[in-house]
Structure 1
Amino acid sequence: MVKLSSTEEENTEFLSSLWGSYKYLLLLSLILLGGGIIGWEYWSQNKVTKLQNSSDMYESFINALNDSELDQKVMAEEIVQKYPNSLYADLVTFHLAKIFVDQNDLNKAEEYLRWILDRHDSKWGSDFDPIEVTARLRLARVLIANENPEKAIEVIEYSQTLNGSLYEVKGDAEEQLGQFSQAKLSYLKALESTQSQSIQALLKMKLANLDN
């Protein structure tokens, strides 16, 4: 038998006393650690499953766009209800807004686009969000079509950064209000922001119409 030194004996006694006093706490810690690992694995697997299910539902929705017998609105609303915080919810809501625009129900289209915008509002953030920009652009166009140019300008000006498309729609709203000098300035800013020849030609036509 190996003989322990006094120091080793003291350490052994100390560890034994620790085990006697805290063994249940240590066992509980091990159980919680194991449970945490299992819980993390379950959460990760559950998240992957939800992503896969939402992806499958969106794919079914896209396929339904070419099938007039399937109710696209019902399928889209189901995705929004089940996965409201997903990118797929935003994408199908854009589709829903377009459906109502095609049906000339502009108030309903506005409601759906505002739902997207409320989720992606980055007034106090600095990151560029293409979903937010797209929602602002489409909402402003819907408001102009619904003869609410003032609201359209509010939606656009609330954005932290304005791109060429937003400047163009801002000009459309200002023209509708009879604010021709402001509209001209917005169209010129839009013209400076684009390299597309077709868009440049359209903007030049709008500028020419202001001078008539």
Structure 2
Amino acid sequence: MALDLEEQENLANLKSFWARYGNYIIGVITVALLVYSGMSAWKWYQRDQAADAGKLYETLINSISKNEKDKTYLAAEDLQNKYGGTSYAAMGSLVAAKVAMDSNDATKAQSYLKWTANQASDDSFRALAQLRLLGILIDQGTEASLKEADQLLKEKAVKGFEPLWIERRGDWYLVQTKIPEARTEYLKAMKAMQSDRAFPEDARGLLKVKIDAVGGM
């Protein structure tokens, strides 16, 4: 069917517009499709990674029940190397650190805790690893370990864990028999805990024992 003059003019305008902007439009659409497909692929990859990491974490837990420490450590290290961005890697390293400490291997425990403190994607796991690492370093009580603990304590505490961070500073003073300084930190920690209902009563109870030991409230 023959086109009338208006239709011919519209078609000509469309051809002219496409000649000028067609490649740009195709480029924009292509980028949009790539972004969408990339996001979909990333979500699928994350789900796939989490599923595989979960299976490996289950292997780690099973190895503990069988008292197979070497398999526990191997699974923890595989989680770090292959699935370091998942929460399972952080959990696996914390569990492996506990196994190492129960076996009186403080060096290995520290290595797992340091990995978690530096690499964990979840702040709660990172804070827990830092606090446990501080406990080991302070308990060792050597010049080198106390210096390392001091450097760590100078870092900013993970939000929500500040009272425990202050308490660890008190422990740091206490192991050096700096009683007045320890008491000051413990009292600061108790004040912070009392203003935060998120802390369980057990945490306050333990801190109260420490305060009593250095002179009381």
Q: TM-score range by the shorter chain?
A: 0.7 to 0.9
Q: Which moved more, 1:34-43 or 1:156-165?
A: 34-43
Instruction: Give the Å deviation of 1:132.
Output: 2.5
Give 2:89's aligned residue.
89
Instruction: Give the Å deviation of 1:144.
Output: 0.9
What do residues 7-27 of structure 1 show as CA deviations (whole Å, max 9, x unaligned)? Answer: 432221232355567777766
The amino acid across from 1:66 in the alignment is S
What do residues 51-101 of structure 1 show as CA deviations (whole Å, max 9, x unaligned)? Answer: 221122222322332122472111111111111121111111111222222
Query: Quick check: 2:90–2:120 contact (8 Å CA) kept in 1?
Result: no
Query: Quick check: 1:150–1:173 contact (8 Å CA) kept in 2?
Result: no
| Aligned positions of 1:191-206 closer than 5 A | 191-192=190-191, 193-194=193-194, 196-206=200-210
| Aligned positions of 1:49-60 closer than 5 A | 49-60=48-59
Q: TM-score, normalised by structure 1?
A: 0.77
Distance 1:202 1:103, change over 3 A: same
2:140 and 2:64 mapped to 1: Cα distance?
A: 26
1:131 and 1:113 mapped to 2: Cα distance?
A: 10
Give 2:175's aligned residue.
176
Instruction: Please tell me whether residue 133 in structure 1 is matched to residue 127 in structure 2.
Output: yes
Distance 1:52 1:3, change over 3 A: same
> Which residues of structure 1 form unaligned runs of 5+?
122-127
1:50 and 1:119 mapped to 2: Cα distance?
A: 17
Give 1:124's aligned residue.
none
Query: Quick check: 1:106–1:146 contact (8 Å CA) kept in 2?
Result: no
2:187 and 2:211 mapped to 1: Cα distance?
A: 8
Give 1:103's aligned residue.
103
Q: Which moved more, 1:19-28 or 1:153-162?
A: 19-28
1:198 and 1:16 mapped to 2: Cα distance?
A: 77
What do residues 148-180 of structure 1 show as CA deviations (whole Å, max 9, x unaligned)? Answer: 234323322312455333222221110112221
The amino acid across from 2:92 in the alignment is V
2:79 and 2:168 mapped to 1: Cα distance?
A: 30
Give 2:156's aligned residue.
159
Give 1:142's aligned residue.
136
Q: Which moved more, 1:72-81 or 1:42-51?
A: 42-51
Query: Quick check: 1:191–1:200 contact (8 Å CA) kept in 2?
Result: yes
1:19 and 1:201 mapped to 2: Cα distance?
A: 75
Instruction: Give the Å deviation of 1:198.
Output: 4.4
The amino acid across from 1:132 in the alignment is R
Give 1:208's aligned residue.
212
What do residues 12-46 of structure 1 show as CA deviations (whole Å, max 9, x unaligned)? Answer: 12323555677777667766665665554444333
Q: How many percent of aligned residue pairs carry the same amino acid?
A: 25
Q: Which moved more, 1:80-89 or 1:44-53?
A: 44-53
Distance 1:27 1:149, change over 3 A: closer
Q: Which one has a bigger Cα radius of gyration?
A: 1
The amino acid across from 1:206 in the alignment is K
Q: How many residue pairs align between the two structures?
A: 205
Instruction: Give the Å deviation of 1:3.
Output: 4.7
